[in-house]
Each structure stands twice: as structure tokens, then as C-alpha cells.
Structure 1
Amino acid sequence: MTFSLVARCERTGMFGVAISSSSPAVAARCSHARAGVGAVASQNVTDPALGPLTLDLMERGTSAAEAVAEVRRQAAFIEYRQILAVDASGVTAIHSGPNALGIWAGAQAKNVASGGNLLANDNVPRAIVDAFLAAQGHLGDRLVAALRAGLAAGGEAGPVHSAGLKIVDRLSWPLADLRCDWTEACPVEAVAAAWDVYRPQMAAYVQRALDPRAAPSYGVPGDE
């Protein structure tokens, strides 16, 4: 029901997750990232607890591969789960249990891993990884390009209805956390449009949180 990617920007150290699904509010359950630690997607008959568990393990110093292996040992019903992880060194790992739904597949490279279930074909994750590696610019731009490539390669077997984009940087809260929880149109394009609007304002929102005295104008009535 889902295709996604987790990624690290080698230049900035940012982490991100981009995801889409036929299910509602997929990003609320499946996208997990922690600044300085890594990013995780926990999907397919989802257990949202597996995302924080994997990040906790990586924060203690294990690699993505070691963390995913430990989650496989600890978690109940792991045969139903998919987990994608990338760590602070760019190491990636994928677990797909044998009870993953429909056509399922994964692909990975340094700094990026992609996986999905109920896919239109098993080439979707490879198309996502290749697009991420070929894309230029901000991590968010590359995540959007990769998610679009997955959709163009076939995406899910049926129509998708929700999508999300999460990015973390040096702070305890996400730099960006954009979601389309349900639409009959294209959720990937809805998130891409939100990113186009949000990205030029992103640094200002960070500045307002850190020191509002130095923040730019709010641009609302009565603001001077």
C-alpha cells in the first residue's frame, strides 16, 4: 500500500523521508527522522513504534544495518513489516518481511534506501533511488523528484491518496513536515506544491523559533 524513501544529504547532514500510499495519512504513521541520527520508514501493516525504536538504536551508536537487525530480533510480527533506515554515516538498511503485501521490493545505495509494497512492479524502488541520486539541489527537492519518479515508474498498484515529506536538520523539531492526508487527486503533487510554497519561508520559520527579534516581517495585517 506504500512506496517511500529515506535519505541523507551528504553535504548538509540533513535527513528526510518521502512517502505515498493508498491509505490515509500515511506520513503520520510511517515517517520518522531525528537530527544527527537518521531517518526511518516503518510501513506495510504498520507498527509506528518501530520507527522510534530504530532511531533510538542508531542514536546509541549502532549502524542502520545493526539497528534494523536488532529490531528484527525484538519486534513482534516482524514478518508483516517493512523497515527502511539510513544512519549518520549514510549506511542504509532494508527489512521486508515475507508477509509484505502484493509485489514488494527494495533498492538502496549510500545515503538512500527505497521500498514498497502492493507495487505496480518491482522496479519502482530502483527508479526512486536512481532519481534521488541524479537529482540536484536541496534535500527536499531531491526527495520530491524521487517520489515523482516512483509514481512515474508505476507506484502502487492502485491509486494513491496520501503523501508526506519530512526533513530534519540540527534542531529537535523537523525543518519541514508537509503532508497530504487524503485526496482524490494526486497527493504527491499536493505535497510538491506545499514544498514549493514552504521552502522559501523555511529559514524564516527557523529564525523565528531561535530568536524572533532577528526574524523577518511576518507579512500579516498590522505587522511593521
Structure 2
Amino acid sequence: MTFSVAGICPDTGMVGCAITSSSICVASRCAFVRSGTGVALTQNITNPDLGPLALDLLQEGQSPQQVLAALAEADSDVQWRQLGVLNSTGEGTTFSGEQALGIFSTAQGQNCIAMGNLLENTGVPQAMIDSFENSSGHLAERLLSALEAGLAAGGELGPVHSAGLLVAAQPQWPVVDLRVDWHIEPIHELRMVWQNYEPQMQAYITRAKDPSNAESFGVPGDE
């Protein structure tokens, strides 16, 4: 029901992911990021508890492979899950349980992982990896472009309805946390949201870190 990609930017320390699904509100329960730590993806028949647990274990210094083993111990129904773990140094791993739905596959690249289930074909994750590895710019842009490449390669067997884009950087809160929870073309809509958010992103970081030098909100009453 879902395909996703996670990546890091070694130059900036950013970590993030992009995800889409035929299910509603996919990013609310399947995508997890943490500054200086990494990314956790939990999809297929989802157990959202595994996302924060994976990040806690990464933060403790466990490798992605160790984290995946711990998740399998923590969840007796792990064979229903599809999981991805990527740490802040670009080391990643994926898992697809025996009960993963439909056509499913995963792929790994330099500083990135991708996976999906109920896919049109097994090449979708690799298409996302290829896009990510051959792109430049802000991590959010690279991740969104990779998600678009996955859709162009066939995507999910049926139509997708929700999508999300998350990136964590130096602040403890995600500097990019964009969601389209229900739409006929959620990835296209997510692209529009990102294009409107990107020019304002730094201003919101400044407001948190240095409010005395923050830009005007530009709304009536804000002089």
C-alpha cells in the first residue's frame, strides 16, 4: 500500500524521507525522523510504535542492523511489516516480512534506502534510489524528486491518495514536515506545498532561534 525513500545529506547533516500510499494520512504513522539520529520507516501492515523505538535505538548508538533485529524481537507480528532504518552517517537496512502485500521490493544506495509494497513492479524502489543518487540540492527536493521517480516508474498498483515529506536538521523539530493526507494526486500536491514552503523555511528557523531578527509575518496587523 506504500512506497517510500529515505536519505541523508552528509554536507548539512540533514536526514529525511518521502512517502506515499493509497491509504489516508500515511506520513502520520509510517515516517519518522530525528535530528542527528536518522530515519525510520514502518509500512505494509503498519505498527507505528516501531518508528520511535527505532530512532531511540539509533540514538543509543546501535547500528541499523542491530535496530532491525531489536524491532523483530519487540514485535511478534514483524512478518506483517516492511521496515527501513537509515542512520545519520548513511548506513541503512530494510526488511520485508513474509506477509508483505502484493509485489514488494527494496533497494539501497549511497546514503539512501527505498522500499514499497503492492507495487506495479519490483523496479520502483531502484528508480527512487537512482533519482536520489543522481540529484543535488536541498535534501527535501532530492527526496521529493525520488518519490516522483518512483511514481513515474509505476508506483503502487492502484492510485495513491496521501503523501508526506519530512526532513530534520540542526533544530530538534523537523524543518520540513509537509503532508497531503487525502488527494487525487497527492505527490503533485505535495510538490506544490514544498514549492510554497521552501522560500519561507529559513524564516521559520530564524523565528525559533533568533526572534529579534525574524522577518515580518507579512499579514495584516504585523508591522
Deviation for aligned residue 1:76: 2.0
Q: How does 1:1-224 map to 2 (within 5 A)?
A: 1-184=1-184, 186-224=185-223
- Using the alignment, how far apart are the partners of 1:65 and 1:203 within structure 2? 34
Deviation for aligned residue 1:192: 0.9
Deviations 1:98-117 (A, max 9, x none): 10000000000231000000
Deviations 1:142-186 (A, max 9, x none): 0111000000000000000000000100111110100000012x1
- Asked if the contact 2:165–2:178 (Cα under 8 Å) also holds between the matched residues in 1, the reply is yes
Contiguous gaps of at least 5 residues in structure 1:
none
- Using the alignment, how far apart are the partners of 1:9 and 1:192 within structure 2? 20
Deviation for aligned residue 1:222: 2.1
Does the residue aligned with 1:107 lie in a helix, a strand or coil? Answer: strand
- Asked if the contact 2:32–2:51 (Cα under 8 Å) also holds between the matched residues in 1, the reply is yes
- Using the alignment, how far apart are the partners of 1:177 and 1:123 within structure 2? 27
- Using the alignment, how far apart are the partners of 1:64 and 1:36 within structure 2? 14
- Asked if the contact 2:110–2:133 (Cα under 8 Å) also holds between the matched residues in 1, the reply is no
Bigger Cα displacement from structure 2, 77-86 vs 64-73: 64-73
Does the residue aligned with 1:98 lie in a helix, a strand or coil? Answer: coil
- Length-normalised TM-score, structure 2: 0.98
Deviation for aligned residue 1:87: 0.3
- Using the alignment, how far apart are the partners of 2:101 and 2:9 within structure 1? 30
Deviation for aligned residue 1:74: 2.1
- Using the alignment, how far apart are the partners of 1:22 and 1:218 within structure 2? 36
Does the residue aligned with 1:120 lie in a helix, a strand or coil? Answer: coil
- Using the alignment, how far apart are the partners of 1:23 and 1:113 within structure 2? 21
- Asked if the contact 1:92–1:110 (Cα under 8 Å) also holds between the matched residues in 2, the reply is no
Extract structure 1 runs of 4+ deviating beyond 3 A.
none
Identity across the alignment (%): 48
Does the residue aligned with 2:41 lie in a helix, a strand or coil? Answer: strand
Contiguous gaps of at least 5 residues in structure 2:
none
- Asked if the contact 1:20–1:160 (Cα under 8 Å) also holds between the matched residues in 2, the reply is yes
Does the residue aligned with 1:114 lie in a helix, a strand or coil? Answer: strand
- Using the alignment, how far apart are the partners of 1:80 and 1:100 within structure 2? 6
- Using the alignment, how far apart are the partners of 1:79 and 1:97 within structure 2? 4
Deviation for aligned residue 1:211: 2.3
- Using the alignment, how far apart are the partners of 2:171 and 2:97 within structure 1? 33
- Using the alignment, how far apart are the partners of 1:132 and 1:201 within structure 2? 24
Corresponding pairs, count: 223
- Using the alignment, how far apart are the partners of 1:147 and 1:55 within structure 2? 22
- Using the alignment, how far apart are the partners of 1:78 and 1:136 within structure 2? 35
